[in-house]
Structure 1
């Protein structure tokens, strides 16, 4: 992170801290600060952080498994599990050491318990239960997607409610955050998530077919990052991809059909250029640009409908209309630019956590722990019977109500972003 980004994040933290202090006690009395250790192992990153109730990140550490999984062409759960086991104690100690906080000083331990890879979740939960048992600390089980949704409240002065778009390796959903742990689910992916396509499916079936691992600019990048990088120099108009779910007026997503279209397109281009699988197509940058654009427009169309639905049904008002985007795929700058334009056109404020807090990390888990601690929600003094859940819905599903409204979305091609 460059110096400007660090300065902005530091300012946001200080502003957030002052805001929280002003809300805490009208009498101005000081209270012992609450300290939460957050532990994240839902997929392939081992993260830990200590955050206090003013929103100050006291210490954090992260071990990324990307290099290992690049060699195997994707995440292998048993490999991810073993790497979590090897690194979790070190990562937690590094976060605690950087914070200057010892375990006895902690108010609670917060850990991701759902959703995610079962083997990965199990490592984090087992380690955390050992800590809370040894030091007799309260335990706060965390929903991974709730943590992504609320991360923005760590860095911005944002009140409930707000519309949130979560884009990650395993999830894609639209929801209204009404309060901590109170969400209305408007729509979600009916098959795979955009991150699954760009970072995994693209890596396995497209990036490998395009030989991105052999491309001099992309050899150390995962599929999604490589696609974003190459797309910057590509011409998306050289290839038109059919967008998913155009006939369905709901807020659900689908990316598997787009994946198949891309695979078929690559096969056709290979025949046209007379090359074998594994060789680099001359149009690789154009394909990357077209894929990225199709994903972005699909996301924008569903988000547009969610905005219109929320305004029509007075779930949000013009005074508090805010769109938040979070999750790993929300780090994609092309998608962010499109969402910013969409928000501007509809009179919504648009907020994103810093890119480093969009991907999986311990900070968002610790902050979600602080949010739940302040709200008095889900703080356990006994962990008997606690289990991890590989699959877990977020909030109350009202997607059928969204579909019943059958809101027509205006054409997006009029937006300046699409011509850029």
Structure 2
């Protein structure tokens, strides 16, 4: 940890100590703010953090498996499981040491139990149950997507309700957050997620062989090359144009992209695995198509929520989170959409958009304060690789058949 980071963390701890000395909250009685340890192992990152009720991140640690999975061309569940097993003890202990907090001082342990890779979820749950049973601590099972959705309330003062777009390597959905565990699901991906698609396109383009991208994850490589590409070289038919709902689909678009790449390879007389001369243009066109698809479905969600008074007609908020929310091109397109419809756009900082222990700990704090899902017995608790978020009203959205006004031609790359 750098000297600056240590200084900041020390200031936070001093501030917390002063809060403890001076607080007269909670019915006039002086009391310690509750602390939650969050543990995240839903996919390929092992994360842990200690967060208090005031939203102070007292300590955090993260072990990223990116380099290993880059070598294999994608996440292999058994490899991810083994890496979680090898690192979870060290990551949790590092977060506790950084926070200066012992397990005895924790109010609860919060852990991702759904959705995610089964083998990865199992490691986090097994470790957490051992910890809470050994120290007799309450356990808070966390829905991964709920945690992503509520992270914004750690970084910004935001009241319910608000519209949430969660876009990542494994998920893509639109929902209204009405409360800590109260969500209305408006739409979700019917097949793969945008991050997964971008990673697969990057592999098809062999971007690991590109001198500018050899150490980048697939989606990041696409974004990087697209900055200097011409998005108009290729035009892809957008998915689900005939369906007036808020669902997404990326597998068909991926097939169109793969066919276009094969055609370009034929035109240039190169074999699969070699780098196209127009690779930057392909990256720009792909990123643009993904962005417009996301924007169109989000636009319909906005119109549906306003029409049905689910969100306020003025000063409504769109929250965008998940790993793909770090893509600046997509974020700029969503900012333009929000501005045009009088929505505020809020995104967590990039480090909290990807999977991490902080968001799990904060979700634990939110649930602890609301008295929701805090377990004093862990008998029968299981992980769930697949788990919906909230109440699914996507059929109602489709029945309303809201037509989205035609979007003006977008030239974010040039602006």
Q: Say yes or no: TM over 0.5.
A: yes
Residue aligning to 1:391: 386
- Asked whether 1:355 is paired with 2:353, we answer no
Distance in 2, matches of 1:38 and 1:227, equals 32
- Shift in alpha-carbon separation, 1:75–1:385, aligned structure 2, 3 A: same
Distance in 2, matches of 1:352 and 1:12, equals 23
Residue aligning to 2:35: 35
- Shift in alpha-carbon separation, 1:10–1:348, aligned structure 2, 3 A: farther
For residue 210 of structure 2, the aligned residue among 169, 192, 215 is 215
For residue 292 of structure 1, the aligned residue among 287, 290, 310 is 287
**Contact map agreement 1:341 1:415 (CA 8 A) in 2:** no
Distance in 2, matches of 1:293 and 1:11, equals 43
**Contact map agreement 1:252 1:302 (CA 8 A) in 2:** yes
- Asked whether 1:88 is paired with 2:83, we answer no
1:4-63: CA deviation from partner (whole Å, max 9, x where unpaired): 999999999999xxxxxxx99486553221000000000000000000000000000000
- Shift in alpha-carbon separation, 1:414–1:232, aligned structure 2, 3 A: closer
Q: Name the SS for the 2:408 alignment partner.
A: helix
> Given the two structures, how large is their TM-score scaled by the length of structure 2?
0.94
For residue 337 of structure 2, the aligned residue among 324, 334, 342 is 342
Distance in 2, matches of 1:110 and 1:261, equals 42
Aligned residues: 409
**Contact map agreement 1:132 1:138 (CA 8 A) in 2:** yes
Deviation of the 1:276 alpha carbon: 1.1
Deviation of the 1:412 alpha carbon: 1.2
1:71-108: CA deviation from partner (whole Å, max 9, x where unpaired): 00100000000000000000000000000000000000
Q: Name the SS for the 1:413 alignment partner.
A: coil
Matches within 5 A, 1:265-276: 265-276=260-271
Deviation of the 1:419 alpha carbon: 6.4
Residue aligning to 1:323: 318
Q: Name the SS for the 2:216 alignment partner.
A: coil
**Contact map agreement 2:41 2:121 (CA 8 A) in 1:** yes
Q: Name the SS for the 2:235 alignment partner.
A: coil
**Contact map agreement 1:46 1:91 (CA 8 A) in 2:** yes
Residue aligning to 1:264: 259
1:117-143: CA deviation from partner (whole Å, max 9, x where unpaired): 000000000000000000000000000
Deviation of the 1:256 alpha carbon: 0.3
Distance in 2, matches of 1:112 and 1:24, equals 33
- Asked whether 1:138 is paired with 2:147, we answer no
Q: Name the SS for the 1:163 alignment partner.
A: strand
Q: Name the SS for the 2:173 alignment partner.
A: strand
Q: Structure 2: which 5+ runs fail to align?
A: 16-22
Matches within 5 A, 1:236-275: 236-275=231-270
1:383-419: CA deviation from partner (whole Å, max 9, x where unpaired): 0000000000000000000001101101112566486
- Shift in alpha-carbon separation, 1:260–1:154, aligned structure 2, 3 A: same
- Shift in alpha-carbon separation, 1:370–1:165, aligned structure 2, 3 A: same
**Contact map agreement 1:145 1:394 (CA 8 A) in 2:** yes
Deviation of the 1:215 alpha carbon: 0.6
Matches within 5 A, 1:148-227: 148-199=148-199, 201-202=200-201, 207-227=202-222
Aligned CA RMSD, in angstroms, stands at 2.7
**Contact map agreement 2:227 2:413 (CA 8 A) in 1:** no
Q: Name the SS for the 1:236 alignment partner.
A: coil
**Contact map agreement 1:106 1:137 (CA 8 A) in 2:** yes
**Contact map agreement 2:315 2:342 (CA 8 A) in 1:** no
Distance in 2, matches of 1:295 and 1:24, equals 51
- Shift in alpha-carbon separation, 1:47–1:161, aligned structure 2, 3 A: same
- Asked whether 1:56 is paired with 2:56, we answer yes
Distance in 2, matches of 1:266 and 1:328, equals 25
- Asked whether 1:333 is paired with 2:328, we answer yes
1:160-181: CA deviation from partner (whole Å, max 9, x where unpaired): 0000000011110000000001
**Contact map agreement 1:174 1:187 (CA 8 A) in 2:** yes
Residue aligning to 1:381: 376
Distance in 2, matches of 1:223 and 1:315, equals 37
1:324-375: CA deviation from partner (whole Å, max 9, x where unpaired): 0000000101000011110000000100000000000000000000000000
Distance in 2, matches of 1:104 and 1:286, equals 56
- Asked whether 1:77 is paired with 2:72, we answer no
Residue aligning to 2:129: 129
Q: Name the SS for the 2:174 alignment partner.
A: strand
